[in-house]
Amino acid sequence: MFDEDLSDNDYSALSEFRYAIRRFIHFSEEAARAAGLEPQQHQLLLAVKGLSLHGSPTIRDIAERLQLRHHSTVELLDRMAEHGLIERTRDTTDQRRVLITLTPAGEEILKKLSLLHRTELRSAGPALVDALNSLIGSSAQP
């Protein structure tokens, strides 16, 4: 059963956690725009790269990762393909499936953004971790 009481410290910790997340998201959005991408485009590149460790992701995989509807994901992929950042290929074992891969240009822009994000997380990450620990630390069960 969940504890239904919240202390002022709980509210403060939740507020700090949301603030730390929002600061990182704001940084991420601005970094994407400075690189010539919309934040969602950057998220798509990162999703494709992260999912590709287990094979080429499908449109469905990416839609799930970005929490978008299928048709919205297709529109986003269309724009990314027009910019030469992703490629689509048919799955050789199931022609109904479309697989998504990054182009060298997509890899390059993602690497630059990911290096910036890693640097930012090394700086701001401890505050995010502290805020999360304040939320779950006292109530976490061993």
130 versus 79: the higher-pLDDT residue is: 79
Give the model's pLDDT for residue 23. Answer: 93
Nearest Cα neighbor of 26 from 112, 134, 118, 120 is 120
Say which range, 42-46, 109-113, 121-125, has the weakest mean pLDDT: 121-125
What pLDDT was estimated at residue 142? 44
* Model pLDDT, residue 9: 86
Taking domain 8-136, whether its CATH number is 1.10.10.10 is answered by: yes
Residue type, 22: R
On the question of pLDDT at 141 being above 60, the answer is no
Are 59 and 73 contacting, i.e. CB atoms less than 8 angstroms apart? yes
Residue 61 above 80 pLDDT?
Answer: yes
The pTM of the full predicted model, rounded to 2 decimals, is 0.85
